[in-house]
Chain A
C-alpha cells in the first residue's frame, strides 16, 4: 500500500500531465538524483568512477538514443556505434580546428554532426522497413568506420586513425579527476534523459509511436511520415553522437575507429532488448545489466569453480560470458520482449494492489 496513487487527486490537467504523475515516482527520482549527484561522489572509489559509473552513463545515453529510434519510432538500426564514432571524431575536430570553442559547444556540434549523418543514413527508411532497414543501417556502421580510417584529415593525420582527446576545460577549470568527469557526464545524461522523456510524452513522441504502431493510420490522421522518421533518426543520432563524444573525452581519452565496431552496436542493441524497448528507464537498466554482468561473472565464476575444486582458466570466463549473453537475449525475446522495464512495471502494478491479490 506504499506505492499507489490513491488519495492523490488530480484537479487540473496540468497536474495529470506532469512528467511523473505519481508522488512516489517523483520522490524516487529526486532521491536517485540526490544520491547520484551528492552521495556517489562521496562514497565511490576512483575505480568505480572510471571503470563502471562513467561507461555506464555513456552507454545508457547511447542506448537511450537507439531506444528513441527503435523503441519509439520503430526503425531498427545497427549503426549506433558508428554514430558514436561520428560524435567522438566531430568533437575532436571541432576542438582542434575551431579556435577557442568551449568544450560543451563542441559536444553539441558533435551531436548535430551525428544527427546530420543519421538523417543521411535514415533516408532508406522512407522506402524500406524492419529487417531490410537494419541491413541498410549496417552500411552506416561499415562506411563510417572505413571513412575515419581512410581520410587522415579526420584524425589529424595520426597513424591508423587514433585520436587523443584534448583537455576538458569548462569555464576555465580543467576537469582531471574521475569524480569531476563523472559529474559532467551525469549532468549531460540527466539533462538529455529528461529531454527525451519530455519528447516521448508529447506530440513528437506520439507521432513516433503512431508511425511505429501503424503507419497507414498515422498518415491518415495527418502525420507526415518522412519528417517524422527522419526526425527520429536525427534525434537518435544526436544522442549517440553526444555519447560518442563523452566516450572519447570523459572515458577513454584516446579512441580509434575500430573501437566503434559492429560489436559495440550490437551491445547497445542488446541493452535496449534486455532493458526494455520503448522505455527511457529501460535504457538505463539495460546498460547497467550489460556492463555489470561481465564484472559479476569475473568475480563469481572463479569463486564458484574454487568452491567445487575445478580447474579454471581465465579465458573460460569470457567464453561463459558469451554463452550467458546469448541465453539471456533469447530468454528476454521469448519471455519478456519488453525487458527489465516491463518487469519493473509489473512489480509496480503488483505494489499498487498489495497486500490484496487483485
Chain B
C-alpha cells in the first residue's frame, strides 16, 4: 500500500474509566496517526466500545489525557466531537428509523447547515440554497456507497446489511477527518463483508479519512488495518502492526486461553 501515513492526530495518554467500582479501562495509552486504519480488538467486555465512547465524548475518563490535533481536550460533549469532525457508527444500528435513507444521510450534515428555523419555515434566505447544496454532497455519498436505489425508502424497511451501509453513509456525509466504526461487519455474510471492506478501504484511500475500527473478524482486521491495539479486561496487552500482534504471546493467550 502506497498511502502516506501522517503525524499523530489523536493521542490517548493513561486513560482510566470507571463506572462506580467497575473498571472499564485501566491506564491505556495509544495513538492514532493521520490517514491510517487503526483497529481495536479484544475479547468480549475488553472495553473496546468504551474506548470509542471516550474518543467521541460520550464517556468522560476519570484519569488520563486526550490530545486531539495537538491540543488537550477538556470535558466535552458528543456534539462537540461532531464539530471537530469526528463521526462514528454504532455496534447496534442507531439510524433514525422513522426517516428515509435520504433524510438520515442529510441529518449527517447538520453541523454544516447554518439556516435557522424561521428561514426553514418561510423557505427563504439560506434555507433553500443549503438544502440543495447539501443534497448534492449527500448524493455523492449515496453514489459512493451504491445505495441509489433505496434513497427514498424508510430505513426500517431495509435489511440489516443495507442499514449498516446507510449508517456509514450518514457518518461519511459529515466529511469527517476521523471515523470511528464500531463493529461495521458484525452479523454480515461474506459478500456484505467484502463490500464493507471495500468501502472502508476506499474511504481511507480517496478521502484520506483516519479510521478507528473495532472488529471481531480477525481475517478482516489483519488484512485492512495498518496498526492494531489489543485490549483485554480494560488493559492494553498488545500494540503494533498486524504481524507483530499476531505473534504476541499475551494476545494469543487472551484469545485462545492460557493452556493452548
* Chain A interface residue count, Cβ-Cβ cutoff 8 angstroms: 33
Residue of A nearest to B81 (CB): A220
| Interface membership of A187, Cβ < 8 A | no
| Chain A CB within 8 A of B18 CB | no
Q: How far is the CA of A252 from the CA of B216 in the complex (A)?
A: 67
B122 touches A221 (CB 8 A): no
Q: Which chain B residues lie closer than 8 Å to A202 at the CB level?
A: 115, 120, 123, 127, 131
Contact, CB under 8 Å: A206 / B103: yes
Contacts of A224 in B (CB 8 A): 79
In the complex, whether B229 has a CB less than 8 A from a CB of chain A is: no
A210 at the interface (CB under 8 A from B): yes
Q: Is the CB of A222 within 8 A of B110?
A: yes
A206 partner residues in chain B, CB cutoff 8 A = 99, 103, 106-107, 110
B117/A199 in contact, CB under 8 A: yes
Closest residue on chain A to residue B56 by CB atoms = A220
A198 & B103 in contact (Cβ 8 Å cutoff): no
Partner of A214, one of B58, B94, B139: B94
Knowing A17-B135, A203-B113, A221-B174 touch, does A214 contact B96 (C-beta < 8 A)? Answer: yes
B108 touches A213 (CB 8 A): no
- Distance, CA A231 to CA B139, complexed state (A): 29
Which of chain B's residues has its CB closest to A198's CB?
Answer: B123
- Say whether B136 contacts A221, CB under 8 Å: no
B114-134, CB < 8 A from A:
115-117, 120-123, 127-128, 130-132
**Size of interface on B: residues with Cβ below 8 Å to A:** 41
- Contact indicator A219/B96 (Cβ below 8 Å): no
In the assembled complex, how far is the CB of residue A213 from the closest CB belonging to chain B, in whole angstroms?
4
Q: Which of B96-111 contact A (CB under 8 A)?
A: 96-99, 103, 106-108, 110-111
B79 touches A209 (CB 8 A): no
Contacts of B136 in A (CB 8 A): 13
Kindly state whether residue B199 has any CB partner on chain A within 8 Å.
no
Q: For the complex, what is the distance from the CA of A231 to the CA of B121, rounded to whole Å?
A: 13
Would you give the shortest CB distance from B80 to chain A, in whole angstroms?
8
Residues of chain B within 8 A of A207, CB atoms compared = 107, 110
Question: B117: which A residues are within 8 A, CB to CB?
Answer: 199, 204, 231, 235
Q: Which residues of A267-309 are within 8 A (CB) of B? A: 278
Stretch at the interface among B41-49, B82-90, B157-165, B206-214: B82-90
Give min CB distance, A58 to chain B, whole Å. 20
Residues of A within 8 A of B113 (CB): 203
- A160-216 contacts to B, CB under 8 A, are 195-196, 198-199, 202-207, 209-210, 212-214, 216
Name the B residues within 8 Å of A221 (CB-CB): 79, 82, 87, 107-108, 110-111, 170, 174
Whether B54 sits at the interface, judged by CB under 8 Å, is no
**Chain B's interface: helix, strand, loop or mixed, by majority?**
helix
Please determine whether A220 and B130 come into contact, CB atoms closer than 8 angstroms: no
Q: How far is the CB of B168 from chain A (nearest CB, A)?
A: 13
CB of A112 to closest CB in B, whole Å:
12
Is the C-beta of B37 less than 8 angstroms from some C-beta in chain A? no
Q: B129 to chain A: closest CB distance in Å? A: 10
- B121 in contact with A278 (CB, 8 Å): no
Chain B residue at minimum C-beta to C-beta distance from A277: B98
Residue of A19, A217, A222, A278 touching B94 (CB-CB under 8 A): A217
Residues in A whose Cβ lies below 8 Å from that of B170:
221
Closest to B130 in A: A203
Asked if residues B120 and A219 are in contact (CB atoms below 8 Å), the reply is no
CA distance A219 to B113 in the complex (A): 15
Q: Quick check: is B77 within 8 A (CB to CB) of the other chain?
A: yes
A14 within 8 A of B: yes
Extra A-B contacts (17), CB below 8 Å, given A222-B83, A235-B117:
A17-B132, A202-B120, A204-B116, A204-B120, A206-B103, A206-B106, A207-B110, A209-B98, A210-B96, A213-B99, A216-B58, A217-B90, A218-B107, A220-B81, A222-B79, A222-B82, A222-B174
Give 20 A-B contacts (CB < 8 Å), ordered by A residue: A13-B132, A13-B136, A198-B120, A199-B117, A204-B116, A206-B106, A210-B107, A212-B98, A213-B95, A214-B96, A218-B96, A218-B107, A220-B82, A220-B88, A221-B79, A221-B82, A221-B87, A222-B82, A222-B174, A223-B110
For the complex of A and B, the 8 pairs showing the least CB-CB separation, nearest first, are A222-B82, A217-B94, A222-B111, A213-B96, A202-B120, A195-B121, A204-B117, A219-B78
